[in-house]
Amino acid sequence: MKLTYHGHSVVKIETNRKTIFIDPFITGNGATDLNADDVKVDVILLTHGHSDHVGDTIPLALRNNALVVAPFELATYLSWQGVNAHPMHIGGAHQFEFGKVKLTQAFHGSSYIDENKQIIYTGMPCGILFYAEGKTIYHAGDTALFSDMKLIGERNEIDVAFLPIGDNFTMGPEDAALAADWLRAKTVVPIHYNTFPVIEQNPHQFVSLLKEGVGKVLQPGESMEL
Ligand code: NI
Ligand code: MN
C-alpha cells in the first residue's frame, strides 16, 4: 500500500490496483502539488461536505467514472449531480473490492454552500477508517479532540493516522498530540495546516510533541509505503 499526502486533507491511497482519494480538494488548494485535470482516480472517500474537502469530487468522479463513498446526506446530494455514490454513516462499515471502509464520528459541521449562497446540510461529519492489505489507516477528517478516540485506538491497530493540526476549525497541535496518544497509531501524519493563514502551524513542532519516532511530516507530493 502506498500513501501520498497532497496538501490540506488530501490523501491518496494506492492498494489492490486501485487509486483512492480522501477529500480531493485540489482546485483552489494553494498547498497541493496536483492539477485536477491530471488526476486519475477510481474511488473517492469523503469525510464531510465542506468545500475544502469535497473539492473537485464532482468533476473528478464524472470524468473518471469513480465511485464516491460519503455520509448519507452528502452522498444523496452528490448522486443528484450524476455521481455514482455509495452512502454510509457513522459506525457502519462496508467491505468494498478495494478495501473496507468504516465511518467514525467527528465533532465539526458539514454543509455544502452552493452558488446561490444556500447552505445545504450534508449530515454529520465523519472520520474514516480504511482497512486493506492487513493495514489500518485512520483519517480523522475535520474534528475536535474527543475522548472516544481512545475507543478507536483500543479497537483498531492503526498503522497510520492523519490528524488535523491547524487549530481554529479543528484540533490544534496540543489536542492533536493527545489524540495521537489515545489512538496509539504507529505513525501520525499532520494534515489541515498551512493552507490558509488562519491555520498556519509548524508541523515539525507538532511532531516534537509526540512520542519519539511516531510523527512524520509529509510534504505535498511525498509518499510512504506500508
Ligand atoms: Ni470542515
Ligand atoms: Mn476543513
- What does the pLDDT read at residue 185? 98
* CA 107 – ligand 1 centroid, Å: 10
* Joined grid coordinates for residue 197: 493563514
* CA 51 – ligand 1 centroid, Å: 8
- What does the pLDDT read at residue 39? 98
Give how far Cα 58 sits from Cα of 67, 80, 178, Å. Answer: 11, 11, 35
On whether residue 225 sits in a domain, the answer given is: no
pLDDT tens digits in sequence order for the chain, 226 residues long? 999 999 999 999 999 999 999 999 999 999 999 999 999 999 999 999 999 999 999 999 999 999 999 999 999 999 999 999 999 999 999 999 999 999 999 999 999 988 899 999 999 999 999 999 999 999 999 999 999 999 999 999 999 999 999 999 999 999 999 999 999 999 999 999 999 999 999 999 999 999 999 999 999 999 999 9
C-beta separation of 136 from 100 below 8 A: no
* CA 53 – ligand 2 centroid, Å: 6
β-strand 187-191 against 160-164: which pairing, if any? parallel
DSSP state of 27: T
* CA 96 – ligand 1 centroid, Å: 26
Backbone angles phi, psi at 26, to 5 degrees: -120, -55
* CA 221 – ligand 2 centroid, Å: 19
Alpha helices in 9-50 (DSSP H): none
Which residue is listed with cell 489541515? Answer: 192
Closest ligand to the CA of 29? 2
* Joined grid coordinates for residue 152: 478507536
Closest ligand to the CA of 108? 1
Closest ligand to the CA of 52? 2
Closest to 126 in 3D by CA, of 77, 97, 88: 88
pTM beyond 0.95: the answer is: yes
CA gap 222, 115 in Å, rounded: 34
On whether residue 49 sits in a domain, the answer given is: yes
DSSP letters, 155-190, are: H---SEEEEE---SSS--HHHHHHHHHHHT-SEEEE
Calculated CA dihedral for residues 146, 148, 152, 153, nearest 10 degrees: 80
DSSP state of 215: B
- What does the pLDDT read at residue 114? 83
DSSP letters, 83-95, are: -EEEEE-TT-EEE
Closest ligand to the CA of 113? 1
* CA 63 – ligand 2 centroid, Å: 24
- What does the pLDDT read at residue 28? 97
On whether residue 150 sits in a domain, the answer given is: yes
On whether residue 226 sits in a domain, the answer given is: no
Bridge partners, 88 (sequence order) = 71
On whether residue 224 sits in a domain, the answer given is: no
Tell me the three state secondary structure of residue 99: strand
- What does the pLDDT read at residue 192? 98
* CA 76 – ligand 1 centroid, Å: 18
* CA 192 – ligand 1 centroid, Å: 10
Which residues span the domain enclosing 74?
A: 2-219
Total number of domains constituting the chain = 1
CATH assignment of the domain containing 114: 3.60.15.10
Closest ligand to the CA of 125? 1
* Joined grid coordinates for residue 143: 474534528
